[in-house]
Amino acid sequence: MKTDIILCGVGGQGILSIATVIGEAATACSLYLKQAEVHGMSQRGGDVQSDLRLSDSPVGSDLIPRGEADLIISMEPMEALRYIDRLSNGGTVITSSRPFVNIPNYPAQEDIMRELESLPHLVAADIEALAAERKFPRSANMLLLGMAAPYLSIIPREELRSAVERVFARKGKAVVEANLAAFDLGTSIK
């Protein structure tokens, strides 16, 4: 079994934290893992992208070829579209529906969502609003990971949840609880 995941977003949104949690869970499941990251001006709101390849047998390359990603997990809808050519025919996009407008000519949100909604497999929600409403605004990324959990069949949901706990443990109980609550909320979004 193999799962190829593209994680993407804008610097500061927590994409690399999602990658860390998935990597921690994959390691605990004794899976093979290859990862490649791109940090394009991440400190200034630039593109952040990571290829994650998980498998129960050795993985040759850390880069996902065009048309072979099983999942695109995106903190930002336009960033999801940036990598759409790498998605397989049966692949799924899991994304925030709220744009991070950081350029003057950012396309209209309706246009971006119309294009995403034309895809056969899409899960989208305003994760930032949901996280803020539940009083864990800094955990929107873990809410997104919870949304992706049902599509990460190579890693049991409970192992992902345990990895959230382990990764954030050094930040204290309140941070762990907020991230677990966000993850659990995300798992209920279809």
Q: Are 95 and 82 in contact (CB under 8 A)?
A: no
66 vs 16, which has greater pLDDT?
66
Compute the distance between CA of residue 38 and CA of residue 50 in angstroms, rounded to an integer.
Answer: 6
Which of 44-53, 145-154, 175-184 bottoms out in mean pLDDT, i.e. has the lowest? 44-53
* Per-residue model confidence as pLDDT tens digits over 68-85: 999 999 999 999 999 999
DSSP per-residue codes, the chain: -EEEEEEEEETTSSHHHHHHHHHHHHHHTT-EEEEEEEESSGGGT-EEEEEEEEESS--S-SSPPTT-EEEEEESSHHHHHHTGGGEEEEEEEEEESS----STTPPPHHHHHHHHHTSSSEEEE-HHHHHHHTT-GGGHHHHHHHHHGGG-TTS-HHHHHHHHHHHHGGG-HHHHHHHHHHHHHHHT--
* Per-residue model confidence as pLDDT tens digits over 117-128: 999 999 999 999
CATH number at residue 79: 3.40.920.10
Residue 182, helix vs strand vs coil: helix
Length of the chain: 190
Strand partners, 35: 52
6 vs 60, which has greater pLDDT?
6
Q: Which domain holds residue 164?
A: 2-97+106-187
Give the H or E element holding residue 96.
strand 87-96
Look at residue 42 and tell me whether its pLDDT is greater than 60.
Answer: no
Number of structural domains in the chain: 1
